[in-house]
Structure formats: structure tokens, C-alpha cells
Amino acid sequence: MRSIWAIQTLALFFLLSSGAYAITGLGMGVRGGMYTSYNNEDLEFDSFDVVDIDQLTMFGGHLRITTLPIFTFELVGEYSWKSENFTIDVGGLRESVEVKVRDFMVGLNAKYEFDIPALTPYVGGGLATHQLTYEISDLPSGFVPFGGQSLIAPEDGPQFGMHALAGVKLGVPASPIEFFAEGRIGRITGDDGATTYTMIYGGVTLSIL
């Protein structure tokens, strides 16, 4: 997993140092939104249909680097979380359990912007590392038994991810503030299968160069 960090660091270094991509702008900002569909195959809840973790709340920040030609690069950090309580009936035995999912993501995005007056649409993609953590209340030795069945907690750890995105940004006249709305679809590697997701979010960027 260290290799992923190295790749992202080297990529950012070459972008900043290459004369072919002269920096024309620099900004920083915050973002927030939610995963609208989160399908994590490592959460082995198939036997418990009422257990469904499909939406996570996200908050984060970004450093934006605009270059020539019309490309924008972003170093992004996002924290996403979800906590939910479930009551499960297995063989007439009712059990209550709290499931927590956490995802700390660091990624590098590249965007291509379309030069249109007022609104600026864009498309892009990126690579990321996802530090995933899971917690199930009263979970001894990695599982909770329910009528002879088990609710499995995946192992915590970093995973590699990739994603595609599209959005639109809107600048405020005579102001360094810029708003944006964005959608993203992605895939995260996992021990038992890949996690796929879609998400929508928005935010604001303050131009400092």
C-alpha cells in the first residue's frame, strides 16, 4: 500500500515541476455530501436482510491546482461514516446490534474542464487509498453468533480505489470564491470482493493564486 502513496506523491511532484503543465491557479476548499449507493461485499450480511449499510455521510477538503492547458488537479482528503442499529430475528431469537463503518480517503484527481461562460462543466477521474474500519457492537473474536449464524466484521486496513467523476462549478463575480457540485462512481478493492459506490456532494473553493 505504500506504493500507492508513492505513486500519488510522485505524480503530484511531476505535475508541479513539469514545464508542460504550468500552474495557472491554486485553491483550497471544503466539501460535503453522501454516498447514495454503497455496496461493500466485505460486509457479510447476506443472511440478515434487514442489515443494510448503503449510505454514508462524507466531509472533507481539497487542494486544487490548475494548469495549462485546461486541466485541474486535486489532492483530496475525505472522511465518511455510518452508524446504524439493527434488530435481527434469527430462529425466533431477537438480537440487537450496532454496525459502524468508517472510510478515510486520500486521493489524487485529474479534471478536464469545458470552457463555457458562467457555468464550467468538467469530467475526470482519480486514484485513492481508502483506510476502512468496521465495528460491530459486542463483537468477540471477530463475530457475533445469531442462532448458529455469524455476522462477520471485515478486517480494518487500507484498500486501493479508483473513480470517475463529473460536475459543474460556478464562480462568484469579482470574488475568489467558487462553488461546485459533483458526482462520482468508484470501486474499492476488498478481501472478499470489490466495494462499488456512487456519491453526490458539493463544496466551495477559495482561490489563493
pLDDT in tens, 30-63: 999 999 888 877 665 555 555 567 789 999 999 9
pLDDT band at residue 66 using 50, 70 and 90 as cut-offs: confident
The predicted structure's pLDDT at residue 209: 77
Residue of 93, 82, 96 whose CA lies nearest to 135? 82
Return the C-alpha cell found at 81. Answer: 461514516
CA distance 26 to 86: 45
**Cα 156 from Cα 11, distance rounded (Å):** 27
Q: Which has more pLDDT, 95 or 28? A: 28
User: What is the per-residue pLDDT for 109?
Assistant: 94
Which residue, 156, 108, 103, is CA-closest to 128?
108
- Residue 184's Cβ-count burial label (10 Å; 0-12, 13-18, 19+) is buried
Taking all residues of the chain, what is their mean pLDDT, rounded to a whole number?
79
* CA quadruple 49, 157, 11, 79: dihedral, nearest 10: 60
Average pLDDT value for residue range 111-117: 84
Average pLDDT over residues 187-203: 87
- Strand 57-67 and strand 71-90: pairing? antiparallel
Highest mean pLDDT among 72-76, 81-85, 91-95, 136-140: 72-76
Average pLDDT of span 82-105: 76
Residue 92 pLDDT exceeds 50: yes
Distance CA 182, CA 62 (A): 13
What's the average model confidence in pLDDT over 75-93? 79
pLDDT on residue 143: 45
- Can you give the pLDDT at residue 108? 92
Judged against a pLDDT cut of 60, whether residue 21 lies above it is answered with no
- Ordered structural domains, the chain, with CATH: 2-207 (2.40.160.20)
Helix runs in the chain, H state only: 2-17
pLDDT at 175: 86
Average pLDDT over residues 122-131: 93
